[in-house]
Amino acid sequence: MIIYCVNDMAVMDAWSMDQKLLGSDLITMMADPKSELTKALDMELTAEGPLSVGLYGRSKRVALYVDDGEVKIVRVAEAEDDPAGDARPDVTLSPAMLEAIKAL
């Protein structure tokens, strides 16, 4: 599993240590400090609300299931009245993803 975030590697390492994942063989933490992957996936958060408080180059709350290089599931926690997906992060959490994978 890969977890990526629009942060630098120092932040990702600190998050890894906090979650006791540093050196894990199961989870790889990756940094996207320039939002390059975020933009390539077309997942940049561009709604006016977040931008108005300085959240530039951020990623939408997204979970992807990729099998052998093919994106099979894309879940984005956003709504018209909640572009950051703060009110419904469960759409991208493990239980929802596992259910979606089982349904394939």
* pLDDT, tens digit, 9 for 90 and up, residues 18-71: 999 988 889 999 999 999 999 999 999 888 776 677 667 788 999 999 999 999
How does DSSP classify residue 61? S
Write the pLDDT tens digit of every residue in 72-82.
999 999 988 88
> Cα separations (Å) of 7 from 4, 15, 84, 91, 102?
8, 11, 16, 22, 31
CA distance 74 to 104: 12
pLDDT of residue 23: 83
Q: What is the pTM of this model?
A: 0.81
